[in-house]
Amino acid sequence: GIAELCSVAEAKKGSFYFFFDSKQALALEMLERSWHRTRTQIFEPAFGDPTLDAVQAIDRYGHLLADNLERLRERDDVVAGCRFGNFAIEMAPRDDTIRAAVSSILDEMVDLVAESIARSAVGAGGDDSGARATAAAVIAQMEGLMVLAKARRDPALLRGLGAVAGRLLH
């Protein structure tokens, strides 16, 4: 509840309501800020680099994710998994607004991966018609690896994402 959030944050309830109308508003703000940070620190360096083919971009993506989770593990002694996947599992069945926000973020993830796959396919003289479906499979693989990394406390599992994607793409 809000009282517990305020207690942990060492903030007064009035301070919470000064900034947020509800827990939902806090969650939506957190999702937006997290996506902005994830996009600029992980997705854009991997999928925004036109010199990388799709497999290289996905491999960089897996390494950037692993690096980030390893830093968090060192700092907080926890492997958190994917915030967006966690929200999809926990909140999407209960709150349509949060479900829509998470779905939109996941769609953006798929779009960024699909653009890289399409660029690679077209550049190699291939067909990019399945790029979005393949990108969704890559994101699903990443989410599964994040669950395993969380359960095993081993972010290095994400370093294998590029090899798996290579088999999907060829």
Local confidence pLDDT in tens for the 170 residues of the chain: 787 878 888 888 787 777 888 889 889 999 999 999 999 999 999 999 999 999 999 999 999 999 999 999 999 998 888 999 998 998 888 999 999 999 999 999 999 999 999 988 755 455 666 899 999 999 999 999 999 999 999 999 999 999 988 887 77
Round to whole Å and give the CA distance between 24 and 102: 13
Q: From the CB of residue 158, how many other CB atoms can be counted at a distance below 10 Å?
A: 24
Round to whole Å and give the CA distance between 72 and 143: 17
| Polymer length in residues for the chain | 170
